[in-house]
Amino acid sequence: MKRILSYLRPFRFRMLVGFTIKVTGTMAELILPYILTYILEDVITELNVGKVIGYGGVMVFFAIVACLGNIIANRMAARVTTNFSKAMRKELFEKTLYLSSSDTDAFTIPSLESRITTDTYNVHNFIGMMQRMGVRAPILLLGGISLTLIMDRALALVMIATLPIIFVTVYGISRKGVPLYTRVQKSVDSMVRVAREDVQGIRVIKALSKNEHENRRYDKVNAELSKRERHAGTVLGIVNPAMTLLMNLGIAAVVAVAAIRVDKELSSPATVIAFMQYFTLISMAMMSLSRMFVMYTKCAASANRIAEVLDTLDKFNVAEDNSKNDGIHISFDNVSFSYLGKKNNIQNISVSLKKGERLGIIGATGSGKSTFIKLLLRFYEPDSGEIRINGKNIKSYSREQLTAMFGVALQNDFIYADTIEENIRFGRDISKEDIIKAAKTAQAHDFITATADGYSHMLSSKGTNLSGGQRQRVLIARAIASEPEILILDDSSSALDYKTDANLRRALDEDMSGSTVITVAQRVSSVKNCDHIIVIEEGQVIGQGKHEHLLKNCAEYREISESQMGGAFVE
């Protein structure tokens, strides 16, 4: 919780002003019953109408001060809460973008989504209530007790006797809420995961008529969430009824003692009237505090989940390497890696590329092709071996230096709801001319200009208003628009027909001759003209060399080639 409250520091002065105004308004509200008691006991007995009206005016003044003070303070609190939440969400979102892939895998995407949304909302609500009621309720409670002790100590002591019982009851129940709501949020993660998967796969669900199957799957996680919410709500739902019961018992005890004291002329009816008003204010304060305890349990659970992400250490450390360029642009030296630390996903891979060369990587699904790319991009750290660019270990490059070298087009890359031009530019300083040039190289220019709006044509989220091949060509254009030093095409032309794929490869050879290009594919036609081809099976390189060499010396490569159009290729 301390980690989250640190976001309030920039707003200290505004909060102090708001607290001061809130205190003033609450004190004005607190003094009203005292003035009423004075009017009933002393002013009315003088039968002076002017004096009654005068003191009535004083009560109106304090009532206005109380009203305006609370309104102004609440508005200031709302602004502080909004700015606080904005800063917290911004840093949390930024942190998720810089989490290592292993940390992202550990948290899971649905969990990160619910932390950015539901958890920040819970914290936002508590911070807002803390500023509105966290000041007012204690003043009403302590101020009310103090004034009642001055007015009638015996009645006050009867009332005070109930407060420790109320506090212990509320605190005891609320303490159980944090672990309960932590489990609730984990169930929210599961529900978000299923909803996210179904939204992404809605077309497949409809095509295969699996609507009822997905409904049952969602019902299962929804029922689990409801069960945990019901349990948490039942436990914390005891707070308000228990507190109301104890407060009503306290009121009954006060009324009984007050009747006896008035009968014995130890207290006056006016004092009892004012006393009951104070008791009402104290009851409201206690109810507000109990609500804050309940909200705190949600906030604490959510704050801990947010802090887990914010406090995750950045694993992208930069190590010094003074090695000089040895003429090799990219090299893998006996690299091995395992996602789970049990079985190697790639093992003892060694390959070297000179600047401007083309590397083709081919293999079956799950063979380790994409893992190779993720290690080169430093999404994960190799368990053993070294990866070097321009002779230096990639660990010696800063994140900005490393990412600036690459242009990447992935098979399952994303397109956001904006124009084609902006999707290719992707927030970078790239001119319209360079965007058009990249689109021509990627074989996308013709279908783009065929639309009514051309490069200003609006795309839907995930590019659902494009075909699979069009979407891939836009992504390839994005990758090459910045003229990267290293271009990675990870199965990014799988939806292209053979002719378009051949035209794309020719255009890349002509327009990206200065870049080192790494092509990951399952089609031999996409890699056959590469300077170097590696064949990966179960994480190991089982063949490497040029196309002709592999046809003669690698049975697996030859089998793949012959299975695809009998080894014939469209050029």
pLDDT, tens only, 546-567: 999 998 888 888 888 888 755 4
DSSP label of 116:
I
Mean pLDDT computed over every residue of the chain: 84
- In this predicted structure, what is the pLDDT of residue 387? 93
Last residue of a domain, one of 278, 310, 342: 310
Asked if residue 305 lies in contact with residue 298, where contact means CB atoms within 8 angstroms, the answer is no
CATH number of the domain that 428 lies in?
3.40.50.300
Residues 300 and 425 occupy one common structural domain: no
User: CA nearest 524: which of 296, 290, 297, 360?
Assistant: 360
Residues 305 and 426 occupy one common structural domain: no
User: CA nearest 435: which of 389, 480, 397?
Assistant: 480
3-state secondary structure of 389: strand
Q: Assess if residue 78 is contained within a domain.
A: yes
| pLDDT exceeds cutoff 90 at 486 | yes
What is the band of 174 on the pLDDT scale with cuts at 50, 70, 90? low
Q: Assess if residue 324 is contained within a domain.
A: no
Asked if residue 301 lies in contact with residue 1, where contact means CB atoms within 8 angstroms, the answer is no
CATH number of the domain that 37 lies in?
1.20.1560.10
Q: Assess if residue 514 is contained within a domain.
A: no
Number of C-beta neighbours around residue 245 at 10 A: 12
Q: How many domains does the chain have?
A: 2
533 vs 520: CA distance, rounded Å: 10
3-state secondary structure of 408: strand
3-state secondary structure of 102: helix
What does the block give as tokens for 405? 């070298």
pLDDT, tens only, 487-546: 999 888 877 888 888 888 899 888 988 899 999 988 888 888 899 999 998 889 999 999
Q: Assess if residue 126 is contained within a domain.
A: yes
Last residue of a domain, one of 293, 310, 327: 310
36 vs 415 pLDDT, higher one: 415
The pTM score is: 0.72
- The residue segments making up the domain with residue 293 are 2-185+237-310
Last residue of a domain, one of 256, 277, 310: 310
Q: Assess if residue 18 is contained within a domain.
A: yes
Q: Assess if residue 74 is contained within a domain.
A: yes
Residues 125 and 250 occupy one common structural domain: yes
421 vs 478: CA distance, rounded Å: 9
Q: Tokens 């003033």, residue?
A: 24
Q: Assess if residue 519 is contained within a domain.
A: no
Residues 275 and 151 occupy one common structural domain: yes
Residues 56 and 171 occupy one common structural domain: yes
Strand partners, 160: none
Asked if residue 336 lies in contact with residue 353, where contact means CB atoms within 8 angstroms, the answer is no
135 vs 22: CA distance, rounded Å: 7
Q: Assess if residue 212 is contained within a domain.
A: no
